[in-house]
Amino acid sequence: MYTIPPKKMVVINILDILKKYSDMDHRLTQAQIMDILKKEYYMDVDRRTVKRNLMNLLDFDFGIDYTEILKKNEKGEDVPICTDWYITRDFDVSELRLLIDSVLFSKHIPRTQCRKLIEKLKRLSNIYFDKKVGHICGLPENSPENKELFYTIDILDEAISKGKKVSFVYNAYGADKKLHPKREREYIINPYQMVATNGRYYLICNYDKYDTLSNYRIDRITGIKILDKKRKPVKELQEGEINLPKHMAEHLYMFAGESIRAKFKAKNYIIDQVIDWFGTEPRMTEINDEECVIEVNVNKEAFFCWAMQYGLHVEVLEPIDMRNRIADAAKQLSEKYNK
């Protein structure tokens, strides 16, 4: 087995020390680096060796920086001294924390994989960052446990890149809290795009029988395979293309089906929520200090669910069949709770 000579390990260990112990707020002198080398790596080296290897790391552009100061030598002459060494980070603390929180509160990443991802992200920083995130709350116990998730994403990414069809088993949870196939035969679809919304990961695709787009929860997919068949071109679909911002704005809950032009009256205090759901595309007309009228293109089934969710704060005006459908649903709810 090949072994790296100890002298050649010095530069590797110094780089490791800088990654582990330094950043712009925590800089190391050459003496401190020498001390860590001795205590943790059992390497007794002199200052010149440390300096030489630090300069080599600078030449190889590892993102290392330092401060240069002037210090008088024995003759009273000003001599430049390099000190306060540190390594610059690809991600600052706030960016790393945002990434970790995104993983932590994701609803589609299994707990075991979530923990591994968080540990990998933490290693992108140093020991000081690790202490700052020690108070992160535990992972929710109700997160999904589809262990094929990352494999499914890899296969879908490959299929989309190569323009191939895929087959898979699509599942739903039963009363035993386990995934069960929704039907006996596999789904065969044309994959186009993967998106994340509402804490879930979805596949935007097409089923050959139809000329519209469908959405499938990726964490519900198992047994995926790439087929040796070209997928249907997007231009053959009703949409003609995938306008992702438009698609996401119209499909609030990622339901498939037709989109409608909906018009509703809303309280002004929920405009924030309207923009959270629909973006800035909706047309808004202020009625008074309390209400406004909003028009938006949206998936029909998604809008029904949204309007029911915000029923106390909005009134659907158009289309009439949607208004009547919500009225009937409200009547059924009233009857159910007034029994």
- Percent of the chain at pLDDT > 90 equals 39
Residues contacting residue 181 through CB under 8 Å, at least 6 positions apart: 169, 170, 171
pLDDT per position as a tens digit, 288-336: 989 999 999 998 988 999 999 999 999 999 999 999 999 999 999 999 9
Q: Which two tokens stand for residue 290?
A: 């309390």
Angle of CA points 307, 313, 319, to nearest 5°: 40
Strands 187-197 and 179-181 come out as unpaired
- Percent of the chain at pLDDT > 70 equals 90
How many of the other CB atoms lie within 10 Å of CB of 97? 17
List phi, psi (to 5°) of 135.
-95, 5
pLDDT per position as a tens digit, 15-44: 999 999 998 888 999 999 999 999 999 999
What beta strand segments (E) does the chain contain? 64-72, 78-87, 164-173, 179-181, 187-197, 200-207, 213-217, 221-230, 259-267, 283-286, 291-299, 314-318
What one-letter code names the amino acid at 304?
F
List phi, psi (to 5°) of 203.
-105, 125
- Whole-angstrom CA distances from 61 to 15, 54, 55, 81 are 12, 11, 10, 20
pLDDT for the residue numbered 134? 55
Q: What is the secondary structure of 78-137 as a DSSP string?
A: EEEEEEEEEE--SS-HHHHHHHHHHHHT-SSS-HHHHHHHHHHHHTTS-HHHHHHTTTPP
Q: Which two tokens stand for residue 159?
A: 């299929």
Cβ–Cβ < 8 Å for 201, 152: no
Cβ–Cβ < 8 Å for 192, 161: no
- The 3-class SS string of 33-70 reads HHHHHHHHCCCCCCHHHHHHHHHHHHHCCCCEEEEEEE
Cβ–Cβ < 8 Å for 64, 86: yes
pLDDT tens, residue order, the chain (339 aa): 445 556 778 999 999 999 999 988 889 999 999 999 999 999 999 989 999 999 989 888 888 998 988 887 777 777 788 889 999 888 888 788 888 877 776 766 777 788 888 888 888 888 888 766 654 555 555 555 678 888 998 999 999 999 999 999 999 877 777 788 988 899 999 999 998 877 778 899 999 988 888 889 898 899 999 999 999 999 998 888 888 777 776 676 677 677 899 999 999 998 888 887 888 788 999 899 899 999 999 989 889 999 999 999 999 999 999 999 999 999 999 999 987
DSSP letter at 199 equals T
- Whole-angstrom CA distances from 255 to 207, 294, 302 are 14, 21, 6
